[in-house]
């Protein structure tokens, strides 16, 4: 209920008013019978939003876009993008709206709020399952310490969405540092207006990379800063076995946050070639391809910045190319530091020795196809003196490795802090979403409990630590959700 003391939410319209060229003011579709399925109270608190207000009639309408706070201008954003390598000059929010900026400067954005001028052939809608999927996986990622957009709420609309079958419709309300993408820059660059491009770059610097203002070449530093953040981001994905599944340039942020949880999934059995998405038939976005693909996306970003970096185009290209070339090294550094922490190596273990041990471990995991998340927790047990869980996963192959590793005196506590017990395992996510689609939120709520506190072992949740039973079909995720 909305009470007399409930505090309505206020939203800015900075992006809509500063960048009229980059979108269209728009109105959300009516929701026949809006019903709040899940509200992220912790996030509401963090944002100083009134959860009671959001639960009330007006709040729920705001979360579907049908109540617009005074001063707000819901805005369908334009962007371009390379999808699976092919360029689309006009993508944009086909079924989404930027509601505006929250008091802390982050964006409040809705997904599934109806057709916009960017909808192309789409219906502008989203189903309950995929929106809850983004909710649970993004919140799990946040709990795992990965920069990500957050999920504030999912509201069932009461409308029917037609996919292979009729499904209940929903709107996801998400919060992001911003919705600036590489694709936003591609769009601004394509209209050939250097002033627009410069204003966009200045906006991105002010919001996400303010130190760049003071650099000798601010726009080159913007590029370098995005590159550093994205190198660390993709390293953090690799370390937890996360596969985004659709790393198009429109799904690569300027803030360095993970965005757009569509066909993403966590790898169970270790296999660098793992692909879950039904449409990724060539394996472009396979697990091991994520770092090179990110570098490719950054090259597309670099191209958009050429006119800003130097009046001499050749010089601009030279400077940006040189910076782009630092990506593999930056990525490798971030990944190696993370891997050292996962196996608990003390700081004084020399780099060459650590690399050797990590390489051998990668071979061990590849050869055995061990459950990735389970293996590192088994290693925590091994640090406590119990090798049996490791042996159960990788067998005798591990003996020599364990002897070398133990001699380096691994730090058990640091390992327990970075190796999760609970991740949103595919079969559990599917089970929770199927139940929610049928009207039972119980399994979703349970799953959310464990994945949002992934390092704390709970007595009755053993089932959530195990991979899918071997007889189950390989996991496949679907796009166009």
Binding range to Mg ion, per CB under 5 A, among 19-27, 236-244, 252-260, 317-325: 252-260
Residues 156-215 contacting ligand AMP, CB under 6 A: none
Binding range to ligand AMP, per CB under 6 A, among 87-95, 164-172, 188-196, 271-279: 87-95
85 is a contact residue toward ligand AMP (CB under 6 A): no
124 is a contact residue toward ligand AMP (CB under 6 A): yes
Binding range to ligand AMP, per CB under 6 A, among 36-44, 116-124, 172-180, 314-322: 116-124
- Residue with the closest Cβ to Mg ion? 260
CB 200 within 8 A of CB 184: yes
Q: How far is the CB of 278 from ligand AMP (least distance, A)?
A: 13
181 strand-pairing partners:
253
Q: How far is the CB of 262 from Mg ion (least distance, A)?
A: 7
3-state DSSP percent of the chain in helix, strand and coil, to 5: 50, 15, 40
Nearer to Mg ion by Cβ, of 247 and 451: the residue is 247
Nearer to ligand AMP by Cβ, of 60 and 78: the residue is 78
Nearer to Mg ion by Cβ, of 59 and 245: the residue is 245
133 is a contact residue toward ligand AMP (CB under 6 A): no
Binding range to ligand AMP, per CB under 6 A, among 62-70, 91-99, 149-157, 299-307: 91-99
Active-site pick, 93, 250, 280, 371 = 250
- DSSP code per residue over 319-359: HHHHHHTTHHHHHHHHHHHHHHHHTT--TTS-HHHHHHHHH
Active site residue 250: yes
The correct pick among 113, 251, 297, 304 for binding Mg ion (CB under 5 A) is 251
Q: Which residues are at the interface with ligand AMP (CB under 6 A)?
A: 91-96, 118-119, 122-125, 246, 251, 260, 262, 479-480
| Residues with catalytic function | 250
Q: Which residues are at the interface with Mg ion (CB under 5 A)?
A: 251, 260
């Amino acid at each position: 209920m909305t009470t007399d003391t409930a505090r309505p939410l206020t939203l800015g319209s900075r992006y809509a008013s500063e960048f009229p060229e980059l979108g269209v003011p728009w109105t959300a579709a009516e929701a026949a019978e809006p019903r709040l399925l899940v509200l992220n109270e912790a996030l509401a608190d963090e944002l100083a939003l009134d959860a009671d207000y959001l639960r009330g009639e007006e709040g729920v309408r705001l979360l579907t876009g049908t109540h617009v706070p005074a001063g707000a201008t819901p805005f369908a954003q334009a962007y371009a993008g390379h999808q699976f390598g092919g360029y689309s000059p006009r993508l944009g929010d086909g079924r989404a709206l930027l509601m505006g900026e929250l008091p802390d400067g982050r964006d409040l954005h809705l997904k599934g709020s109806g057709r916009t001028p960017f909808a192309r052939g789409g219906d502008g809608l989203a189903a309950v399952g995929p929106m809850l999927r983004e909710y649970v996986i993004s919140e799990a990622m946040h709990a795992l310490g990965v920069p990500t957009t957050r999920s504030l709420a999912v509201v069932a609309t009461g409308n029917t969405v037609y996919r292979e079958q009729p499904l209940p419709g929903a709107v996801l309300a998400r919060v992001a540092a911003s919705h600036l993408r590489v694709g936003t820059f591609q769009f601004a660059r394509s209209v050939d207006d250097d002033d627009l491009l410069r204003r966009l770059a200045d906006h991105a610097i002010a919001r996400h990379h303010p130190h760049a203002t003071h650099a000798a070449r601010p726009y080159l530093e913007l590029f370098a800063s995005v590159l550093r953040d994205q190198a660390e981001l993709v390293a953090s994905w690799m370390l937890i076995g996360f596969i985004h599944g659709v790393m198009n340039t429109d799904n690569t942020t300027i803030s360095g946050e993970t965005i757009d949880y569509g066909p993403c999934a966590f790898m169970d059995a270790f296999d660098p070639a793992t692909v879950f998405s039904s449409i990724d038939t060539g394996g472009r976005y396979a697990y091991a391809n994520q770092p090179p693909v990110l570098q490719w996306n950054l090259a597309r970003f670099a191209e958009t910045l050429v006119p800003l970096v130097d009046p001499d185009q050749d010089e601009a290209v030279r400077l940006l190319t040189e910076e782009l070339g630092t990506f593999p090294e930056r990525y490798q550094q971030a990944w190696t530091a993370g891997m050292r922490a996962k196996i608990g190596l003390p700081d004084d273990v020399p780099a060459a020795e650590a690399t050797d041990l990590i390489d051998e471990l990668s071979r061990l995991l590849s050869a055995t196809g061990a459950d990735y998340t389970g293996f590192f927790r088994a290693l925590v047990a091994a640090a406590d003196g119990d090798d049996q869980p490791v042996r159960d996963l990788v067998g005798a192959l591990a003996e020599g490795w364990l002897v070398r590793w133990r001699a380096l005196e691994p730090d058990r506590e640091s390992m327990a802090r970075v190796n999760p017990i609970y991740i949103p395992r595919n079969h559990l996510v599917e089970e929770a979403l199927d139940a929610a689609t049928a009207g039972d939120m119980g399994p979703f709520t349970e799953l959310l409990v464990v994945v949002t506190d992934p390092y704390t072992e709970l007595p009755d949740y053993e089932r959530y630590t195990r991979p899918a039973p071997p007889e189950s079909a390989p996991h496949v995720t679907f796009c166009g959700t």
